[in-house]
Amino acid sequence: MKKRSFNTRNLGSGFLYFYIHFVTEVACFYALARYIESPPVMWMITVAYDLLAFTPQSVIGYISDRFRKISFGLIGLVMLAAALPLQQYMASPWLSLVILCLGNACTHVDGAEITLRASNGSLSHSAIFVAGGSFGVITGKLLAGAGIPYWAPLVLTLSAVPFAMAAKLYLNKAPASAEVPCRAFRYNDPRRNKYLVILLSVIVVISRGYMAYGIPISWRKSTLQTVMLFCFMGLGKALGGVCADLFGIKKTAIISLAAALPFLLFGDNNMYLSLIGVMFFSMTMSVTLAVIVSVLPKAPGLAFGFTTIGLFLGATPVFFIKVTGFAANCVMLTVMTALCVACMAISIRKDEPHERLV
Amino acid sequence: MNDWFETVSTAVLQYEKTPLLIFAALFAVIVILTVAFAVHEIRNDIS
């Protein structure tokens, strides 16, 4: 029987994109926090940001799958860098917002493409890439809140350009760079219809996106506590990929989600319990991506786009329908956790030791 | 995060319909394209 192992081959792509994802979110949330200072367009800006940054990733991802020579990572960073001074000097927020969102979408797509193609079927690479975002969100908000001038996130964004160029080199080293770049991803249950697997995975992402805003966190009062919350989110996302590689994707997905529930429910006033819950809760992030990639092994960019459409669908209802009250939140979290566990139990294949394609 | 969302959701409740419809139309186009690409990929994979 083969033993599972932590695949460190090409892991550098994950760390390079951890930084690029970090600076992307710093730039976006710095700009977003400053847009939101203008109340008349506040809600439109927020909904438009979610729409324009999240949903086009599927289309950009598909173009990126087809035309690998286009460096979407570099294009994205240049767009982000251009959006920051535009926001500062233009009266209307819309042009800078559109450029910012498309820049965000481009760097995300490239990160997913590179880490998935270079990982040889491991989840750790994309999980480490995804984790960088949580640290970036809180850093961007803190920079904007502290009144730091726009050139600081601009310099930070440009500092990621060499990282994007270096990450590109990992594509050449990727073993499965041929016709089916992600053939080592075989995590979907082959007995299930492929469309059903995509649908169930997107339902999990939607539920998780909505649940994230219903988590009771009365304990969070200071900036330091907010920073810790985002750090544990990031840690959970990275740990989810590593645990999936070590112990199996199905075990990691179901156990982490089920284990998160009691910690989240009883952690309303206890920061330590809550942070453990948030960490467990974030661990399934890379799992849904890996399952969709298993169904679309030739199109990792498009597969990533499905998860971001799910995130948009999960986050948007929060603006319109919000579950309030501790008891209602508990019921909502429990029902949605059960739904996610059921979806994952159906769509993910049974864990078994598998040979990696080297 | 929650405070921020509470502020934004309060603002959303006073929404205007036109921008929402534009956003919904844009979203629908992107979803249709995404599903079409996925169907194309899966059919290609089977054949």
The whole-angstrom distance between residue B42's C-alpha and the CA centroid of its chain comes to 23
Q: Output the pTM of the full model.
A: 0.89
Q: How far is CA A127 from CA A28, A35, A138, A171, A284, in A?
A: 20, 30, 18, 17, 10
Assess contact for A36 and B12: CB atoms under 8 A.
no
Q: How far is CA A244 from CA A40, A113, A335, in A?
A: 45, 19, 24
pLDDT-derived band at A355 (thresholds 50, 70, 90) equals very low
B2 touches chain A (CB under 8 A): yes
Q: Which residue type sits at A139?
A: T
Reading the block at residue A259, the tokens are 């284990």
- Cα separation, A263 vs A276, whole angstroms: 7
pLDDT(A357) > 50: no
Q: What is the mean pLDDT of residues A23-47?
A: 81
Q: Which residues of A touch B15 (CB under 8 A)?
A: 43
* A195, A213, A305: residue with CB nearest B34: A305
Please, which residues have CB within 8 angstroms of residue A21's CB and are 6 or more apart in sequence? A107, A108, A111, A129, A130, A131, A132, A133, A136
Helix residue ranges per DSSP H, chain A: 11-35, 42-54, 57-66, 72-89, 94-118, 124-145, 151-158, 161-173, 194-212, 223-247, 249-266, 271-282, 285-295, 300-315, 317-320, 326-347
pLDDT-derived band at B3 (thresholds 50, 70, 90) equals low
Pairs of residues, one from chain A and one from chain B, whose beta carbons lie less than 8 Å apart: 82
Quick one: what percent of chain A has pLDDT higher than 90?
A: 54
B37 touches chain A (CB under 8 A): yes
Task: Say which CATH superfamily domain A7-180 falls into.
Answer: MFS general substrate transporter like domains (1.20.1250.20)
pLDDT of residue A177: 53
Reading the block at residue A165, the tokens are 């160029």
Beta carbons of A43 and B12 less than 8 Å apart: yes
Convert the pLDDT of each residue in A140-168 to its tens digit: 999 998 989 999 999 999 999 999 999 88
Quick one: what percent of chain B has pLDDT higher than 90?
A: 38
Please, which residues have CB within 8 angstroms of residue A332's CB and are 6 or more apart in sequence? A211, A214, A323
Q: Which residues of B touch A194 (CB under 8 A)?
A: 42
A213 touches chain B (CB under 8 A): yes
Helix (H, G, I), strand (E, B) or coil at A88: helix
Residue in A344, A131, A121, A182 with CA at minimum distance from that of residue A252: A344
B18 touches chain A (CB under 8 A): no
pLDDT-derived band at A28 (thresholds 50, 70, 90) equals very high
Question: How close does chain A come to B38, measured CA to CA in Å?
Answer: 8
Convert the pLDDT of each residue in A285-315 to its tens digit: 889 999 999 999 999 999 999 999 999 999 8
Question: How close does chain A come to B32, measured CA to CA in Å?
Answer: 10
Domain positions in chain A: 7-180, 186-296+321-351
Q: Which residues of A touch B37 (CB under 8 A)?
A: 58-59, 62, 299, 302
- Cα separation, A227 vs B1, whole angstroms: 11
Choosing among A55, A98, A221, A281, which should be mutated to test the B contact, i.e. which has the most B CBs within 10 A? A55
Enumerate the β-bridge partners of residue A348.
A188
Reading the block at residue A127, the tokens are 């999980």
A142 touches chain B (CB under 8 A): no
Beta carbons of A226 and B37 less than 8 Å apart: no
pLDDT of residue A221: 78
pLDDT-derived band at A127 (thresholds 50, 70, 90) equals very high
Beta carbons of B37 and A62 less than 8 Å apart: yes
> Does this complex have an ipTM over 0.90?
no
Convert the pLDDT of each residue in A258-291 to its tens digit: 999 899 888 888 889 989 998 998 898 889 999 9
pLDDT of residue A38: 62
Reading the block at residue A98, the tokens are 């559109």
Q: How far is CA A40 from CA A19, A43, A83, A140, A142, in A?
A: 34, 8, 21, 22, 23
Question: How close does chain B come to A273, measured CA to CA in Å?
Answer: 19
Residue found by looking up tokens 């491991």 in the block: A122
Quick one: what percent of chain A has pLDDT higher than 70?
A: 91
pLDDT(A52) > 90: yes
Beta carbons of B30 and A55 less than 8 Å apart: yes
Convert the pLDDT of each residue in A58-117 to its tens digit: 999 999 999 988 999 999 999 999 999 998 888 778 899 999 999 999 999 999 999 999
Task: Between A255 and A170, name the one with better pLDDT.
Answer: A255
pLDDT of residue A211: 81
pLDDT(A42) > 60: yes
* B1, B34, B44: residue with CB nearest A306: B34
Assess contact for A48 and A73: CB atoms under 8 A.
no
